[in-house]
Amino acid sequence: MQLDLNQLCELLTVLDQTGISELTLKSGEFELTVRKGIQASEPGTVAGTAAVATVVPMVTGAAASPTLVSPPAVPQNSGSSLTDSAPPVPAAVPAAAPPPVDTKWVPIISPMVGTFYRAAAPDERPFVEVGDRIGVSQTVCIIEAMKLMNEIDADEVSGQVMEILVQNGEPVEYGQVLMRINPD
Protein backbone atom coordinates (compact mmCIF):
# COMPACT_ATOMS: atom_id res chain seq x y z
CA MET A 1 0.00 0.00 0.00
CA GLN A 2 1.38 3.39 -0.98
CA LEU A 3 0.43 6.34 1.24
CA ASP A 4 1.89 9.77 0.54
CA LEU A 5 1.96 12.79 2.83
CA ASN A 6 -1.11 14.43 1.27
CA GLN A 7 -3.15 11.24 1.63
CA LEU A 8 -2.06 10.90 5.27
CA CYS A 9 -3.03 14.51 6.05
CA GLU A 10 -6.38 14.04 4.29
CA LEU A 11 -6.99 10.80 6.22
CA LEU A 12 -6.26 12.50 9.56
CA THR A 13 -8.56 15.42 8.65
CA VAL A 14 -11.44 13.12 7.70
CA LEU A 15 -11.01 11.00 10.84
CA ASP A 16 -11.05 14.13 13.00
CA GLN A 17 -14.44 15.09 11.54
CA THR A 18 -16.06 11.71 12.20
CA GLY A 19 -17.05 9.74 15.28
CA ILE A 20 -14.47 7.06 14.50
CA SER A 21 -12.17 6.66 17.48
CA GLU A 22 -9.60 4.21 16.09
CA LEU A 23 -8.40 3.17 12.64
CA THR A 24 -5.72 0.63 11.73
CA LEU A 25 -4.22 0.27 8.25
CA LYS A 26 -1.98 -2.74 7.63
CA SER A 27 0.29 -3.47 4.72
CA GLY A 28 3.17 -5.84 4.11
CA GLU A 29 5.45 -2.85 4.68
CA PHE A 30 3.90 -1.11 7.67
CA GLU A 31 1.03 -0.82 10.11
CA LEU A 32 -0.56 2.56 10.91
CA THR A 33 -2.88 2.95 13.90
CA VAL A 34 -4.63 6.28 14.56
CA ARG A 35 -6.55 6.80 17.82
CA LYS A 36 -8.66 9.81 18.85
CA GLY A 37 -9.42 10.82 22.41
CA ILE A 38 -6.40 9.29 24.13
CA GLN A 39 -6.42 10.20 27.81
CA ALA A 40 -3.31 11.78 29.34
CA SER A 41 -3.26 9.12 32.07
CA GLU A 42 -2.22 6.41 29.60
CA PRO A 43 1.54 5.90 29.71
CA GLY A 44 3.50 6.98 26.67
CA THR A 45 0.72 8.96 24.99
CA VAL A 46 0.24 12.55 24.00
CA ALA A 47 -1.76 14.53 26.58
CA GLY A 48 -5.23 15.79 25.82
CA THR A 49 -7.62 14.56 23.18
CA ALA A 50 -5.32 14.85 20.17
CA ALA A 51 -5.13 11.95 17.76
CA VAL A 52 -2.11 9.72 18.14
CA ALA A 53 -0.62 7.78 15.25
CA THR A 54 1.38 4.64 15.93
CA VAL A 55 3.53 3.22 13.17
CA VAL A 56 4.91 -0.28 13.49
CA PRO A 57 7.28 -1.29 10.69
CA MET A 58 6.58 -4.83 9.51
CA VAL A 59 10.13 -6.23 9.30
CA THR A 60 10.48 -9.99 9.10
CA GLY A 61 12.97 -11.52 11.49
CA ALA A 62 13.32 -8.37 13.62
CA ALA A 63 11.18 -6.95 16.39
CA ALA A 64 10.19 -3.33 15.88
CA SER A 65 9.04 -1.02 18.63
CA PRO A 66 6.11 1.32 18.01
CA THR A 67 6.79 5.02 17.60
CA LEU A 68 4.23 7.52 18.84
CA VAL A 69 3.91 10.77 16.91
CA SER A 70 1.44 13.62 16.97
CA PRO A 71 -0.75 14.01 13.84
CA PRO A 72 1.20 16.86 12.22
CA ALA A 73 4.38 14.79 12.22
CA VAL A 74 5.02 12.15 9.60
CA PRO A 75 5.82 8.60 10.73
CA GLN A 76 9.39 7.59 9.89
CA ASN A 77 9.28 4.43 7.81
CA SER A 78 11.81 3.50 5.13
CA GLY A 79 9.45 0.94 3.58
CA SER A 80 6.75 3.42 2.58
CA SER A 81 6.54 6.40 0.26
CA LEU A 82 6.04 8.92 3.08
CA THR A 83 8.39 11.90 3.02
CA ASP A 84 10.67 12.81 5.90
CA SER A 85 9.08 16.16 6.77
CA ALA A 86 5.56 17.46 7.12
CA PRO A 87 4.21 20.95 6.55
CA PRO A 88 3.19 22.70 9.76
CA VAL A 89 -0.42 22.06 10.69
CA PRO A 90 -2.18 24.69 12.81
CA ALA A 91 -3.16 23.56 16.30
CA ALA A 92 -6.86 23.01 16.88
CA VAL A 93 -8.63 25.81 18.67
CA PRO A 94 -10.42 24.49 21.77
CA ALA A 95 -14.18 24.50 21.37
CA ALA A 96 -16.25 26.86 23.46
CA ALA A 97 -17.59 25.35 26.65
CA PRO A 98 -20.90 23.61 26.01
CA PRO A 99 -23.99 25.16 27.56
CA PRO A 100 -24.91 23.75 30.96
CA VAL A 101 -27.16 20.70 30.80
CA ASP A 102 -30.15 20.59 33.10
CA THR A 103 -29.64 17.55 35.35
CA LYS A 104 -33.29 16.54 35.13
CA TRP A 105 -33.09 16.12 31.34
CA VAL A 106 -33.14 12.48 30.28
CA PRO A 107 -30.65 11.45 27.58
CA ILE A 108 -31.62 9.19 24.70
CA ILE A 109 -28.52 7.07 24.15
CA SER A 110 -27.42 5.18 21.05
CA PRO A 111 -27.70 1.43 21.68
CA MET A 112 -25.29 0.66 18.80
CA VAL A 113 -22.66 1.95 16.41
CA GLY A 114 -24.10 3.18 13.12
CA THR A 115 -25.34 6.16 11.13
CA PHE A 116 -27.91 8.53 12.68
CA TYR A 117 -30.96 9.56 10.64
CA ARG A 118 -33.62 12.00 11.80
CA ALA A 119 -36.25 10.80 9.26
CA ALA A 120 -37.33 7.51 7.69
CA ALA A 121 -36.35 8.76 4.21
CA PRO A 122 -34.52 11.83 2.86
CA ASP A 123 -37.73 13.41 1.54
CA GLU A 124 -39.74 12.77 4.72
CA ARG A 125 -40.25 14.95 7.76
CA PRO A 126 -37.93 14.31 10.79
CA PHE A 127 -39.34 12.14 13.56
CA VAL A 128 -38.78 14.94 16.11
CA GLU A 129 -37.55 18.54 16.24
CA VAL A 130 -36.24 20.55 19.18
CA GLY A 131 -39.28 21.73 21.14
CA ASP A 132 -41.53 18.82 20.08
CA ARG A 133 -43.43 16.84 22.72
CA ILE A 134 -42.89 13.09 22.61
CA GLY A 135 -44.69 10.18 24.20
CA VAL A 136 -43.43 6.97 25.80
CA SER A 137 -42.02 4.56 23.19
CA GLN A 138 -42.33 7.10 20.35
CA THR A 139 -39.75 6.66 17.58
CA VAL A 140 -37.30 9.58 17.69
CA CYS A 141 -34.69 8.55 15.09
CA ILE A 142 -33.18 5.70 13.08
CA ILE A 143 -29.70 4.25 13.34
CA GLU A 144 -28.48 2.33 10.33
CA ALA A 145 -26.13 -0.50 11.24
CA MET A 146 -24.94 -3.12 8.76
CA LYS A 147 -27.59 -2.09 6.19
CA LEU A 148 -30.39 -2.48 8.76
CA MET A 149 -32.56 0.46 9.80
CA ASN A 150 -33.11 0.35 13.58
CA GLU A 151 -35.83 2.59 15.01
CA ILE A 152 -34.78 4.21 18.29
CA ASP A 153 -37.63 4.87 20.71
CA ALA A 154 -37.98 7.17 23.70
CA ASP A 155 -38.10 4.25 26.14
CA GLU A 156 -40.21 5.03 29.17
CA VAL A 157 -39.87 8.81 28.85
CA SER A 158 -42.29 11.43 27.65
CA GLY A 159 -41.68 15.14 27.54
CA GLN A 160 -40.17 17.88 25.41
CA VAL A 161 -37.14 17.46 23.11
CA MET A 162 -34.58 19.96 24.44
CA GLU A 163 -31.49 19.11 22.37
CA ILE A 164 -30.63 17.00 19.33
CA LEU A 165 -26.89 16.44 19.57
CA VAL A 166 -26.24 14.57 16.30
CA GLN A 167 -26.57 15.80 12.72
CA ASN A 168 -28.46 13.80 10.10
CA GLY A 169 -26.21 11.22 8.41
CA GLU A 170 -23.52 11.49 11.10
CA PRO A 171 -21.84 8.35 12.50
CA VAL A 172 -22.63 7.54 16.13
CA GLU A 173 -20.91 5.37 18.72
CA TYR A 174 -22.41 2.92 21.23
CA GLY A 175 -23.46 4.87 24.33
CA GLN A 176 -23.35 8.28 22.63
CA VAL A 177 -26.06 10.75 23.71
CA LEU A 178 -28.30 11.44 20.71
CA MET A 179 -30.75 13.89 22.28
CA ARG A 180 -32.00 15.12 25.64
CA ILE A 181 -35.61 15.17 26.82
CA ASN A 182 -37.14 17.32 29.55
CA PRO A 183 -39.47 14.74 31.13
CA ASP A 184 -43.11 15.46 32.06
Residue boundaries of the structural domains of the chain: 5-69, 106-183
Which run of H or of E encompasses 166? none
The SS3 of residue 17 is: coil
Instruction: Say yes or no to pLDDT of 143 above 90.
Output: yes
- In this structure, CATH architecture of domain 106-183: Beta Barrel (2.40)
pTM: 0.47
Q: How many CB atoms lie within 10 A of CB 161?
A: 20
DSSP for residue 98: P
pLDDT value, residue 133: 94
**pLDDT tens string 152-166:** 998 889 999 999 999
pLDDT tier, 65 (very low <50, low <70, confident <90, very high otherwise): very low
Which run of H or of E encompasses 129? none
> What is the rounded distance in angstroms from the CA atom of residue 178 to the CA atom of residue 150?
14
**pLDDT tens string 75-134:** 444 444 444 444 555 555 555 555 566 678 999 999 999 999 999 999 999 999 999 999
Angle at 142 between CA 116 and CA 128, to 5 degrees: 95
pLDDT value, residue 168: 93
Q: How many CB atoms lie within 10 A of CB 67?
A: 14
DSSP bridge partners of 102: none
Q: Which of the residue ranges 24-38, 51-65, 129-143 would you say has the lowest mean pLDDT?
A: 51-65
Query: Which has the higher per-residue pLDDT, 12 or 90?
Result: 12
The SS3 of residue 34 is: strand
Residue 138, φ and ψ in degrees, nearest 5: -75, 140
